[in-house]
Amino acid sequence: MSGPLEVQSVLSEGWRLVLGFIVGVLFGFFLERGGFGSARKLTGVFYLKDFAVPKVMLSAILVAMAGLLVLGRAGVLDLDLLAAMPTYIWPQLVGGLLLGIGFVVGGYCPGTSAVAAASGKWDALVFMAGLVTGIFSFAELFDRLESFYFSGDLGDVTLADWTGLPPAGIVFLLLLMAGAAFWLIGRIERRPRKDEGDLAEHTGRSDAVLGTGGAQS
């Protein structure tokens, strides 16, 4: 486990390993209990049928983002110690596209595939086999891809750096955007689905044919 806890020597190396193991087990447990070890659950968002994934992801991002800001303002956490991945715009755009395609086709992301594989799902094991194959294939081809891999270098840029807004302003804008996203998701979830309408129509026809007329026994 890395980050400010390591740099500020809050935890020893041994305790960081213990904490990392505990957090990993709890993370996997709650993912599975929340249904995120199911490919159907994860791909439901692309069919506008199940929005559990974006709800959880948005909530986690907002809590972490606001929490870090508050801890930084309170002097508990030095935000300068947080690592930011360098931005290489073109390879990261392509990588995001490939990850999205893999998510839709396979029904998993790397983390959820590990959770599903641990619970014995064969499709997750196949997904992980493809993931490992992709990792080793990329490593073998890295010399040929290296120039593209480092293209579009923007450095360790953040939204605050890019827009010129203070971090608190970025957090406020993202909270507004998330609120709008939750509102839109709620509207979509409340609308009647076509398959539900078809089921109701089919049930009505069955009642008519059988002469039940919805009468209760």
Extended beta strands in the chain, E state: 87-88, 153-155
pLDDT at 201: 53
Per-residue pLDDT in tens (0 to 9) along the chain, 217 residues: 445 555 556 667 788 788 889 988 898 898 888 888 888 888 888 888 888 888 888 888 889 888 888 888 888 777 777 777 889 999 999 999 998 898 888 889 888 898 899 888 999 999 999 999 999 999 999 999 999 999 999 888 888 888 888 888 988 998 999 999 999 998 888 887 765 555 445 445 444 444 544 444 4
pLDDT at 214: 44
Nearest to 87 by CA among 95, 98, 78: 95
pLDDT at 199: 44
Q: Is 211 helix (H, G, I), strand (E, B) or coil?
A: coil
Q: How far apart are CA 52 and CA 175, in angstroms?
A: 18
Cβ contact 174:62 at 8 Å: yes
pLDDT at 10: 65
Instruction: Provide the domain limits for residue 64.
Output: 14-190
One-letter amino acid identity for 162? W
- Does the residue 195 lie in any domain? no
- Does the residue 8 lie in any domain? no
- Does the residue 202 lie in any domain? no
- Does the residue 107 lie in any domain? yes
Please give the model's pTM, rounded to 2 decimal places. 0.70
The domain total for the chain is 1
β-partners of residue 87 are 155
Cβ contact 88:153 at 8 Å: yes
pLDDT at 215: 45
Q: How far apart are CA 66 and CA 171, in angstroms?
A: 7
pLDDT at 217: 41
Interior CA angle at 116 toward 114 and 118, to 5°? Answer: 70
**How many residues does the structure list for the chain?**
217
- Does the residue 212 lie in any domain? no
- Does the residue 210 lie in any domain? no
Q: How far apart are CA 13 and CA 11, in angstroms?
A: 7
Cβ contact 111:42 at 8 Å: no
- Secondary element (H or E) of residue 32: helix 13-33
- Does the residue 69 lie in any domain? yes
Q: Is 154 helix (H, G, I), strand (E, B) or coil?
A: strand
Q: How far apart are CA 158 and CA 165, in angstroms?
A: 10
- Does the residue 130 lie in any domain? yes
